[in-house]
Amino acid sequence: MTYQSVYEGWQQDPEGFWMQAARAIDWVQPPTKALFAENAPLYEWFADAQVNTCHNAVDRHVAAGHGGRVAIIHDSPLTGTRSYITYQQLLDRVARLAGALRAKGVAKGDRVIIYMPMTPEALEAMLACARIGAIHSVVFGGFAAHELAVRIDDAHPRAIIAASAGVEPGRVVPYKPLLDKAIDLAEHKPDFCVILQRQPQTAPLTPGRDVDWHDFQTGADPAECVPVAGNHPVYILYTSGTTGRPKGVVRPTAGHLVALNWTMKNIYDVEPGDVFWAASDVGWVVGHSYICYAPLIHGNTTIMFEGKPVGTPDAGAFWRVIAEHKVRSFFTAPTAFRAVRRADPTGALIAQYDLSSLRAVFLAGERADPDTIRWAGEQLGVPVIDHWWQTETGYAIAANPLGIEELPVRAGSPSVPMPGWDVRILDDAGRPAPAGKLGAIAVRLPLPPGTLPTLWNAGERFRTAYLDRFPGYYETGDSGMIDGDGYLYIMARTDDVINVAGHRLSTGAIEEALAGHPDVAECAVIGVADPLKGQVPLGFLCLNSGVERDRDAIVGECVGLVRERIGPVAAFRLACVVERLPKTRSGKILRATMAKIADGEAFRMPATIDDPAILDEIREALQTLGYAGGGRPG
């Protein structure tokens, strides 16, 4: 079996391909067909089936005799604890929590917001909702009160499940005051809140509304799994919108089960019982797909890591977890590897651990620069695979399918489209672009199972955001190209393509050149307004730990690198060294915000920014380059 034969098999019979994949799922009522196209361009998969996500993630493994297998490993260097939860223990906990929710009136179709740190209880809450057909919406723990209030008003939850606090390096983040403020701000009020009291900071409960996590479940009868229709939402996950109003991505139950289960073997090359680790957070789509659902549906052991790649206690944290828990397949963001490389550029800490269990590393969440991939591959001695997907899709659009065939890795490419994805490069007029030509990346409809069928209570916004620009296609919002061999290259978000004197240039290509400098650990390029050329690129450079060379010399060498690799057309002359880059909590660099600061435009403070103080540092750096840096939140 080869990638090409599998992909061509899907092309020749898309519905047959997915019906075959659906045989791996336990159905209450199997689907009669795969695709429901009656409302095209709005499509649904396995809509007439009856199924339950929690049963497929937990109960069926216990019934098959695997109740003693470890389902969840919670590894928390921030609290100095480790715990192991078997599938049988997980079943007991989830059924009891689901029964307590049911006793308080939560039923199929009701929404429940989950606002928790990286603890097993977060996964238990997600699964308990799925068990009774409630629709969960996880909000990143510690999210600002206003942003949480916006999500409360959009989702109208019957209940909120939260923790008293989260733990970060060197500090405790109180969640309960943020939750209280959010509920005060929101027009919609939940019926009740379930609070997990967490050391080192517990919180006072609001009488009549709040209940303690443990007291809430005392005496509750365990709930059985409730069958739901195949197109019933298992969750809503909010992603940032360009208008500042978050978009509620809807995840349909049946397609989600089928697609995620297929990816575990075919993309990540793991067998049931193997340990799989996605170093992310349950608040992001990676946490939904590859900390919670996919590993458990497939019968793997999943790791919840409450720590950081650097500082808990050092840049060897990843390697310690992989060695201790015998991780086979590891998934993280490129920004995490850049942080590790910056702190330990020679990989000295890697040599201290036995990583013989590790078979592959997968990167996603942002563009993985070739230099980082090369460094990781050389240090770890296993395939380091970039793959590309979005919150909206829920799993990989393009990847290197290790479980089918390991394809040659090409620097800067997440490899090739997976079955289900007919990826095209289109010009501004919607015409196909030739091989090697930069354009908008779009996917021919229908999208495969498990992807968003719409946005929560915003059908027209779904069409406007994704379908209207290129009729018959899903607009990804990313730009890139496909080479003559079918390898896809993601160069930037569409709005990160800059126009320099009429030449369309990818900021990602310029960043790739800068990342090739041996002293550069991480970089970002933005387009800034220029009266002559329209826009010119401007670079921000973060250096490796221990670099003491003259910074102006490094900047000059970087300018030369861009000129050598891209040419004078890039007009790249402006760069500065900064200590850190502004990012979201999931590691994405806030390039658009940096550009607005440079151009003196008002901007909306990103709700997901990791540390707002970094923007002041960027403003100061811009001023040294002659830019006013006057853009401020507005």
**Given a cut of 80, is residue 533 above it in pLDDT?**
no
What CATH number does the domain located at 87-225 have?
3.40.50.980
pLDDT digits over 140-158, tens only? 888 888 889 999 999 999 9
Q: Give the residue with greater pLDDT, 630 vs 36.
A: 36
Residue with tokens 């060897």: 316
Question: Helix-strand-coil percent breakdown of the chain, rounded to 5?
Answer: 35, 25, 40
Give the pLDDT confidence score for residue 317 in this predicted structure: 97
Each residue of 74-102: pLDDT tens digit?
999 999 999 999 999 999 999 999 999 99
Residue 249's contacts (CB-CB under 8 Å, 6 or more residues apart) are 236, 237, 238, 239, 285, 391, 392, 452, 455, 456
| Segment 255-290, tens digit of pLDDT | 999 999 999 999 999 999 999 999 999 999 999 999
Q: How confident is the model at residue 613 (pLDDT cuts 50, 70, 90)?
A: confident
Q: How many CB atoms lie within 10 A of CB 1?
A: 10
Q: Domain 501-624 belongs to what topology? A: GMP Synthetase; Chain A, domain 3 (3.30.300)
- Residue 464: count of CB within 10 angstroms of its CB: 12
Q: Are 538 and 574 in contact (CB under 8 A)?
A: yes
Per-residue pLDDT tens for 362-403?
Answer: 998 777 878 888 999 999 999 999 999 999 999 999 999 999
- Tell me the sheet residues that pair with 113: 137, 160
Number of Cβ atoms within 10 Å of the Cβ of 58:
28
Peptide bond into 77 cis (omega under 30): no
Selection from 567, 388, 566, 600 nearest residue 476 by Cα: 388
The reported pLDDT for the residue numbered 135 is 98
Give Cβ neighbours of residue 484 (< 8 Å, ≥ 6 apart): 435, 436
623: helix, coil or strand? helix
Q: CA angle, corner 150, sides to 144 and 152, nearest 5?
A: 100
The C-alpha atoms of residue 589 and residue 508 are separated, in whole angstroms, by 12
Q: Which residues contact 208 (CB under 8 A, 6 or more apart)?
A: none
Task: Return phi, psi of residue 75, to 5°.
Answer: -115, 110
Provide the β-strand partners of residue 425. Answer: 441
Q: pLDDT digit string (tens) for 241-251?
A: 444 578 999 99
pLDDT in the model for residue 512: 83
Per DSSP, helices labelled H in 448-497 are 459-462
Q: What average pLDDT score do residues 177-204 get?
A: 96
Tens of pLDDT along 556-583? 999 998 888 777 777 888 999 999 999 8
* Per-residue pLDDT band at 252 (split at 50, 70, 90): very high
pLDDT reading at 629 higher than 60 = no
Domain with CATH 3.40.50.980 in the chain: 87-225
The DSSP symbol for 409 reads: P
Task: Check: pTM over 0.95? Answer yes or no.
Answer: no
Reported confidence tier of residue 634, pLDDT bands at 50, 70, 90: very low
Distance CA 530, CA 537 (A): 10
Would you say residue 501 has pLDDT above 70? no
How high does pLDDT run on average in the chain? 92
DSSP 105-149: T--TT-EEEEE--SSHHHHHHHHHHHHHT-EEEE--TT--HHHHH
Number of residues that make up the chain: 634
Can you give the pLDDT at residue 609?
A: 78
- The structure tokens listed for 521 are 């650990």
Q: Residue 428, SS3?
A: coil
* pLDDT reported for residue 503: 64
CB-count exposure of residue 433 (10 Å: 0-12, 13-18, 19+): middle
Q: Which ranges in the chain are annotated with CATH 3.30.300.30?
A: 501-624
The span from the CA of 507 to the CA of 527, in Å, is 8
d(C-alpha 458, C-alpha 461), whole Å: 5
Distance CA 148, CA 225 (A): 29
Check residue 504 and give its pLDDT.
61
If you average pLDDT over residues 320-346, what whole number do you get?
93
Predicted local distance difference test score (pLDDT) of residue 239: 85
The three-state secondary structure class of 444 is strand
Q: Two tokens at 594?
A: 């940096």
Round to whole Å and give the CA distance between 454 and 44.
10
